[in-house]
Amino acid sequence: MDGMLESRFDESKKLLKELGYDGTPRGRAASDRCRDPRDMAPVAKTLLERGGFKVDMQSMDWQTLVARRTKKDPVAQGGWNIAMTAASVVLLLDPVNNHYAEASGDRAQFGWPLDEEVEKLRAAFVRESDPKKQLAIAEKVQIRIISEGVTIPLGQ
């Protein structure tokens, strides 16, 4: 996983230009009362801006954020682009219990990532009984979810 989480801001700006990003601000929903998401928000905003995005950080109470992140509407109609949350490590121990690693579309975590390869790897993890082979599969899942943007871990 060496290099997977290195910052490459110039590459990000180049890709955004190639993809036709027009500078429309991306809404970043931030809870103002829950400590972890609140503290991560300014860091994420800074990193996104260094990567070429314009960010409209919107602070709200946790209940509003939880309700808003369920919407698939555009930001102007109450939807969202990016939201943060935190989880207990016990929920992240393996690619099956870690609901942030799920990429099954509408059944997945908010953002509804869809990636057949992630789901194949997660199924292989369940079927494998050898712990060393399970570890190798779990590492492949981590690499895939990060490379495809299914979820991005910001720290511990």
Domain limits, the chain: 8-86, 87-156
Dihedral sign computed on CA atoms, order 70, 142, 95, 86: negative
| pLDDT number for residue 33 | 64
pLDDT tens for each residue of 40-60: 788 888 888 999 988 888 888
CA proximity to 151, closest of 57, 87, 90, 77: 87
The fraction of the chain above a pLDDT of 90, given in percent, is 29
pTM of the predicted model as reported, rounded to 2 decimal places: 0.75
pLDDT at 155 over 70: no
